[in-house]
A and B are shown apart, each in its own frame.
Chain A
């Protein structure tokens, strides 16, 4: 098995699916000739031709709208929005068309569409290149929302997403493309080649949507995390010595509630972490579910650690980003509660 970066794993997933299924088409801004701004589609046009991997104009609404039509017809478009922050013009098509086509056609038409988007901060992108809009998708019934945290999962999840009969929003934490970023921005980057989850199996395999993974077993407290914050949580647990059980949700919808309940009922404590702003973030949903289904097992209030309720700042990126220091403090406070 080869060790790969997350970008290579994502490219691998599209390559595998384009090879297996002529109906899979890949397109977006700079996706064809240039190979994608983060190189996710490099080589795909050369291998599969301009019919199946192509550049589009800068027109996010158009990209997604056309893809919805293709999907309704029976193709399997896998499109890239260059940054999740560019998604908003396409939001109408995602919400009003992609997510709702099955319901309003009584199942006659479906939308097997994947919309890939780099998400999150950590690259000094400022407010238009750093946002984490996952809650805007999880609030929309009819969509599935996926956030991988490592190369091995990214490939299996993306293959599952492309094979899925319904629209899937695939959010790729861009800071994880080249390594398992632990939130210590002032330290050298660890490459995926040093990480066991950089081991990416060859060929076709699936990580089923709706399954979480326990990244660290523990008995004192449960951390619910996804994407970049999985690695930050691992670091915070190691640095504080709190025996945390860390659940990598992997998919937000469908949600692996069973795994969450099993862990929280065991530990009695729960800290939820995400990069996105706090208010009405996906952590609010998780917190409510934990409270509703684990209340009599809880020994402390459920705590959320998230981005501040501000636009994503430029210079003060690391004041905004919920790094291991902030997460660690929450762990200690929750243990003391």
Chain B
């Protein structure tokens, strides 16, 4: 299944062209895949087929899909533990992602990593990281490597508004600005770090300005609008590719589900969630745009059916893939002789 980034490349649209119908349809499909995948993951969790931690991306789909549309294959992506959407957006196989959630040998980390810890060298996806904020320094190192290799790549480094207060985030900002490293920092501000509202954790009221001491240019964007995110991404990526150093995007978004599966969600009102779902849903938003462009109901139906089948196939694979062999416990601690 082609991702939006691949479609863009194929159709030869330049980065500063606004999103056309074909690309928007692809974005719709990509977001829907994430949504349906996450819903299925939630179901499998409820059935006891997924254990431990599982952080769903539902509600935030436009951020990663919009950003991915601004990228070119080869650009690096790294993120936190709420990572399923990022993996699907980079074109990783939903079967391998779901099978990692169920801890099977067909999972991307052969069951060693689980929901939070998956990687794909093929897609330049540098993980899924369970320690809040740790990936921000790593992403800066990826950007250094692009600079060092003198290639044209950009390292997109995602983190939440909660992680944005970790000391190493600011250390990374300084280094990236100092060395003009091609890194796009994307703060996915979903308003809640676990159960703590951003205003109870951040003195900064405009996180897009958090790079200001180092003069890192930034945009604050509606993270529920895939086109707006894509356009912000285009600007950020162009800045990086021009050798001008890091760029910061704050995407204002929202997660509909709890922080993880065990979240009692008593820290926000039902009305707040309902308002976001009914008035700002990123998938509905894309669909309305497409309908306005005259896209027929049958097209949506076909996409819905295809995505549903794809997710079902991933779920089936994740349940039929064998448990990891006992020896797997001992592999990849260090390079084996």
Interface residues of A (CB under 8 A from B): 29-30, 32-34, 37, 55-59, 61-62, 85-86, 88-89, 123-129, 308-311, 313-316, 319-320
Q: Which residues of A contact B328 (CB under 8 A)?
A: 316
Nearest CB in chain B to that of A88: its residue = B131
Shortest Cβ distance from residue A63 to the other chain B in the assembled complex, whole angstroms: 11
Shortest Cβ distance from residue A207 to the other chain B in the assembled complex, whole angstroms: 30
Query: How far apart sit A309 and B166, CA to CA, in the bound complex (Å)?
Result: 30
Contact across chains for A315 and B201 when beta carbons are under 8 A apart: no
Query: How far apart sit A86 and B114, CA to CA, in the bound complex (Å)?
Result: 18
Q: Which residues of B contact A126 (CB under 8 A)?
A: 52-53, 113-117, 130
Q: Which has the most chain A C-beta neighbours within 10 Å: B52, B115, B202, B266? A: B52
Nearest CB in chain B to that of A125: its residue = B52
Contact across chains for A315 and B53 when beta carbons are under 8 A apart: no
Q: Which of A30, A88, A311 contacts B196 (CB 8 A)?
A: A30
Indicate with 1 or 0, residue by residue over B186-216, a CB within 8 angstroms of chain A CB atoms.
Answer: 0000000111100011100000000000000
Query: How far apart sit A195 and B8, CA to CA, in the bound complex (Å)?
Result: 63
**Could you list 11 further interchain pairs (A-B, Cβ under 8 angstroms) beyond the known A33-B195, A315-B107?**
A30-B193, A30-B195, A34-B266, A34-B267, A58-B166, A62-B165, A85-B130, A86-B131, A126-B52, A126-B116, A310-B333
22 A-B pairs within 8 Å (CB atoms) are namely A33-B200, A34-B196, A34-B266, A55-B201, A57-B162, A57-B193, A58-B162, A59-B167, A61-B167, A85-B131, A126-B113, A127-B112, A127-B117, A128-B81, A128-B117, A128-B131, A308-B329, A309-B333, A314-B114, A315-B107, A315-B112, A315-B323
Kindly state whether residue B111 has any CB partner on chain A within 8 Å.
Answer: yes
Query: How far apart sit A217 and B287, CA to CA, in the bound complex (Å)?
Result: 70
Indicate with 1 or 0, residue by residue over B94-136, a CB within 8 angstroms of chain A CB atoms.
Answer: 0000000001100101011111110000000000011111000
Kindly state whether residue B168 has any CB partner on chain A within 8 Å.
Answer: yes
| Contact residues on B (Cβ < 8 Å of other chain), bracket | 35 or more
Shortest Cβ distance from residue A266 to the other chain B in the assembled complex, whole angstroms: 37
Kindly state whether residue B42 has any CB partner on chain A within 8 Å.
Answer: no
Contact across chains for A125 and B168 when beta carbons are under 8 A apart: no
Indicate with 1 or 0, residue by residue over B140-179, a CB within 8 angstroms of chain A CB atoms.
Answer: 0000000000000000000000110111100000000000
Contact across chains for B52 and A124 when beta carbons are under 8 A apart: yes
Query: How far apart sit A311 and B330, CA to CA, in the bound complex (Å)?
Result: 9
Q: Which residues of A contact B330 (CB under 8 A)?
A: 308, 310
Nearest CB in chain B to that of A31: its residue = B196
With A29-B196, A58-B165, A313-B329 as known contacts, state yes or no: A129 contacts B111, CB within 8 Å: no
Main secondary structure of the interface of B (DSSP, over half): loop
Query: How far apart sit A57 and B163, CA to CA, in the bound complex (Å)?
Result: 8
Indicate with 1 or 0, residue by residue over B29-65, a CB within 8 angstroms of chain A CB atoms.
Answer: 0000000000000000000000111000000000000
Kindly state whether residue B285 has any CB partner on chain A within 8 Å.
Answer: no
Kindly state whether residue B217 has any CB partner on chain A within 8 Å.
Answer: no
Nearest CB in chain A to that of B202: its residue = A57
Q: Which residues of B contact A58 (CB under 8 A)?
A: 132-133, 162-163, 165-166, 193, 201
With A34-B196, A124-B114, A314-B103 as known contacts, state yes or no: A89 contacts B168, CB within 8 Å: yes
Query: How far apart sit A313 and B168, CA to CA, in the bound complex (Å)?
Result: 26
Nearest CB in chain B to that of A65: its residue = B167
Nearest CB in chain A to that of B260: its residue = A37
Q: Which has the most chain B C-beta neighbours within 10 Å: A124, A309, A315, A316? A: A315
Q: Which residues of B contact A309 (CB under 8 A)?
A: 333
Kindly state whether residue B326 has any CB partner on chain A within 8 Å.
Answer: yes
Shortest Cβ distance from residue A292 to the other chain B in the assembled complex, whole angstroms: 31
Query: How far apart sit A310 and B333, CA to CA, in the bound complex (Å)?
Result: 6
Contact across chains for A128 and B167 when beta carbons are under 8 A apart: no
Q: Which residues of B contact A37 (CB under 8 A)?
A: 194-195
Contact across chains for A315 and B267 when beta carbons are under 8 A apart: no
Q: Which residues of B contact A123 (CB under 8 A)?
A: 52
Query: How far apart sit A171 and B281, CA to CA, in the bound complex (Å)?
Result: 42
Contact across chains for A89 and B167 when beta carbons are under 8 A apart: yes
Query: How far apart sit A29 and B162, CA to CA, in the bound complex (Å)?
Result: 10
Shortest Cβ distance from residue B331 to the other chain A in the assembled complex, whole angstroms: 9
Contact across chains for A315 and B103 when beta carbons are under 8 A apart: yes
Contact across chains for B114 and A29 when beta carbons are under 8 A apart: no
Contact across chains for B104 and A315 when beta carbons are under 8 A apart: yes
Q: Which residues of A contact B326 (CB under 8 A)?
A: 316, 319
Contact across chains for A124 and B53 when beta carbons are under 8 A apart: yes
